[in-house]
Amino acid sequence: MTDLRSHIFPQAKQARFRVGIKWDPLERDDLAEAHALESPAAARVEYAKLARALKAKPRPNGLVSLFSFIPFIRDYQLQEERLRTEKEKRRKALAKYLAQEKMESFDLDLCAFCYDKNGKRHSFVSPVSVEEEEAIGKESAFIHSGDDMTGTGDLFDEDMQVNLSALDPAIESVFFVIVSNHHGFDEIKGGSWSFINTWGETEIFSATLKTQKKDRLHVIGRLMREEESWKLQEIADYCPLDDSEALSLDQRVDAVLSSRYIPKANV
């Protein structure tokens, strides 16, 4: 295993950073984004119409063929050919989209779990957590970009800003994790995560999400209080996640963090 990277934030000099994740979406989601496809039902209707239109071959027009040497008639023919080519291209895109209709999108969530000096969970931040709303409303220690359920787009699909000076004094450590809701990380063919220093927008460290592991939890880093400073340490560990419905998702993630890292973090 490679040496884990770390970074020190002296509170007097740097009080903010951002963590972001990006993942390669399912082809269907990319197609939906690129071709403005609203739903499978609408796509099926459009596909049927295009298939019928393309199946009917255009009848040759004798006069048009006879006078094809005339510029505006030749332009008309070229326009018809381009239109047919565009229809065929869209039909193929719809076919690919419908072929993956029942597949679930790659839906990843960026979360932060906070612990006190005794290793007890203090709070957690996720795209939909109550704690997130409280943090934004009271102290703005964490500001989450919100839930992205497909991973389409060019920038971070989800990111979280952290204001170190606003963290509750009771918090001693914060773990940053990525949860995959429906798929093992081995199914997601590309993606990355990054920690960004907001002072100058410089990268602290980053890594790819590419792995052969089927786990659905990826622990990417840990923030630890060290006297008057904070230390951010890379973890980059894939972990199995209990699928039991008896516990909520945050409880299942907390169980993994507590058993694997909390005793080590508080020795």
Q: Which of 63-67, 74-78, 247-251 has the lowest mean pLDDT?
A: 63-67
Tokens standing for residue 85: 């080519």
pLDDT at 189: 87
Give me the pLDDT at residue 144, please: 93
Q: Cα(160)–Cα(142) distance, rounded to whole angstroms?
A: 7
pLDDT for residue 84: 87
| Res 70: pLDDT | 64
Q: Which residue has the higher pLDDT, 37 or 257?
A: 257
Handedness of CA 147, 149, 153, 156 (dihedral sign): positive
Strand-pair partners of 121: 115
pLDDT, tens digit, 9 for 90 and up, residues 172-228: 999 999 999 999 999 998 999 999 998 888 999 999 999 999 999 999 999 999 888
Beta-sheet strands, E only, within 62-185: 108-115, 121-125, 142-144, 158-163, 173-180
Query: Which amino acid is it at 64?
Result: V
- Whole-number Å distance between alpha carbons of 177 and 221: 7
Share of the chain above pLDDT 90, in %: 64
Per the CB < 8 A criterion, the answer to whether 117 and 68 are in contact is no
- Confidence class for position 267, pLDDT limits 50, 70, 90: very low
Q: Tell me the average pLDDT of the chain.
A: 87
Q: How confident is the model at residue 122 (pLDDT cuts 50, 70, 90)?
A: very high
Could you tell me the pTM of the whole model?
Answer: 0.84
